[in-house]
């Protein structure tokens, strides 16, 4: 049994991770300020709750810290860009200080957004990214980028065992219905017989990872032997482990909409098209060769199956 802290644990990924860790018999504490996290996600779970802002410091003694605290969807992270920036930056600093104090191992949630509007397709971890420093997505993208740099430098300075995971588009139960993500939007629109909104012509592709696959990857990654990780990354010139986790299956946003409608045959929704927002990434698909080699991990849940579980979750909510 490990003493585990999940920052941002009342959010979508944290809620799924917490359930899995509890099922394995671990002691799980969730730190959340409920800025975007939802109390419903924790109802009846049996976790300890630390209701506070990660920027104010991370108390306690932990074996593992999963650092997930940050608004992650555009409507949330653009609501208060300075809050988003400082949550990324001061958040990871607080987590790294806690890890240094108590010797915890840290898995830090980075994001495919560090690749921005990528020039390479699919994106391997060695891609440096293509990101605007002064655009409408910058508060998230640049905050998350520099959080990786803090993790690297803290590890180099103090030997902190921090590992980076760049999470690609993920969906599943416990997604926030209000966070404007494409999967939840389409399902909710279909369930409500509202028009299904596509931006641009819907031909931009996304990878869609079911959250159970990601949680599986997290568990493999946090349990990986530090020496084995070093042996994998040092020869590549990396002083910190960095792994993509996502589903390399590529679908257009339009294909996603059509699959949602196929699974909700009673829906009277139709597709409508709107202009693309600024700096919207056109294509995103993970190269997961490293996670596969290093952890033996790869996603196994097909889109149709994951969507069915997600639709069931949203039906039950309604």
Nearer to a second copy, 34 or 128 (CB): 128
Question: Across-strand partners of 48?
Answer: 29
Give which of 318, 102, 85 is closest to 190, Cα–Cα: 318
CB nearer a second copy, residue 10 or residue 131: 131
DSSP 147-206: HHHHHHHHHHHH---EEEEEE--EE-TT--TTS--HHHHHHHHHHTTPPEEEETTS--EE
What's the Rg (C-alpha) of the chain? Answer: 19
Residues 165, 147 contacting (CB under 8 angstroms): no
Q: CB of 120: closest distance to a second copy in angstroms?
A: 11
**Nearest CA among 124, 244, 266 for reference residue 193:** 266
140 an active-site residue? yes
Cβ neighbours around 145 below 10 Å, total: 21
Q: Measure CA of the first residue to CA of the last residue in the chain; give whole Å.
A: 36
* Contact call for residues 95 and 155 (beta carbons, < 8 A): no
Smallest distance, Å, CB 137 to a second copy?
10
The CB-of-253 to a second copy minimum distance in angstroms stands at 23
Contact residues: a second copy, CB under 8 A? 81-82, 85, 89, 114, 116-117, 119, 128-134, 138-139, 142-143, 145-146, 148-150, 152-154, 156-157, 164, 237-240, 242, 278
Exactly one of 35, 77, 115, 140 is catalytic; name it.
140
Give least dist CB 235 to a second copy, A. Answer: 14
Instruction: Give every strand in the sheet of 162-167, ordered side by side.
Output: 48-51, 27-32, 3-7, 64-67, 105-111, 162-167, 242-245
And the tokens for 5?
């802290």
Smaller CB distance to a second copy: residue 145 or 254? 145
- 235 vs 237, beta carbon nearer a second copy: 237
d(CA 8, CA 31): 6
What DSSP element (H or E) covers 260?
helix 253-263
Please count the residues of the chain.
318
Q: With respect to a second copy, which residue has the nearer C-beta, 60 or 81? A: 81
Q: What are phi and psi of 240, to 5 degrees?
A: -145, 140
Q: Which helix (H) or strand (E) holds 138?
A: helix 138-158
- 129 versus 249: smaller Cβ distance to a second copy: 129
The distance of closest approach from Cβ of residue 234 to a second copy in the complex, given in angstroms and rounded to an integer, is 13
Q: How far is the CB of 236 from a second copy (least distance, A)?
A: 11
Q: Which residues are catalytic?
A: 140
């Amino acid at each position: 049994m490990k003493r585990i802290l999940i920052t941002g644990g009342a959010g979508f990924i944290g809620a799924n991770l917490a359930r899995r860790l509890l099922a394995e018999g671990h002691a799980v504490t969730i730190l959340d300020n409920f800025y975007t996290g939802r109390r419903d996600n924790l109802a009846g779970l049996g976790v300890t709750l630390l209701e506070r802002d990660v920027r104010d410091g991370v108390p306690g003694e932990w074996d593992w810290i999963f650092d997930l605290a940050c608004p992650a969807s555009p409507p949330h992270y653009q609501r208060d860009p300075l809050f988003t920036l400082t949550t990324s930056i001061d958040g990871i600093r607080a987590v790294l200080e806690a890890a240094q104090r108590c010797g915890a191992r840290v898995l830090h949630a980075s994001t495919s957004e560090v690749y921005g509007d990528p020039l390479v397709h699919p994106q391997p971890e060695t891609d440096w990214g293509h990101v605007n420093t002064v655009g409408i997505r910058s508060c998230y993208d640049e905050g998350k980028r520099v959080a990786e740099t803090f993790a690297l430098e803290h590890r180099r300075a103090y030997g902190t065992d921090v590992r980076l995971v760049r999470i690609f588009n993920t969906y599943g139960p416990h997604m926030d219905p209000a966070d404007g993500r494409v999967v939840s939007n389409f399902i909710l629109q279909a369930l409500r017989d509202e028009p299904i909104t596509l931006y641009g012509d819907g031909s931009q592709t996304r990878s869609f990872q079911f959250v159970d696959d990601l949680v599986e990857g997290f568990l493999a990654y946090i349990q990986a032997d530090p020496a084995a990780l070093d042996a994998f990354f040092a020869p590549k010139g990396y002083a910190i482990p960095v792994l993509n986790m996502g589903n390399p299956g590529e679908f257009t946003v339009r294909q996603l909409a059509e699959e949602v409608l196929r699974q909700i045959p009673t829906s009277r929704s139709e597709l409508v098209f709107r202009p693309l927002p600024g700096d919207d990434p056109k294509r995103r698909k993970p190269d997961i060769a490293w996670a596969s080699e290093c952890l033996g991990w790869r996603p196994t849940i097909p889109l149709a199956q994951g969507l069915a579980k997600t639709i069931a979750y949203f039906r039950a909510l309604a």
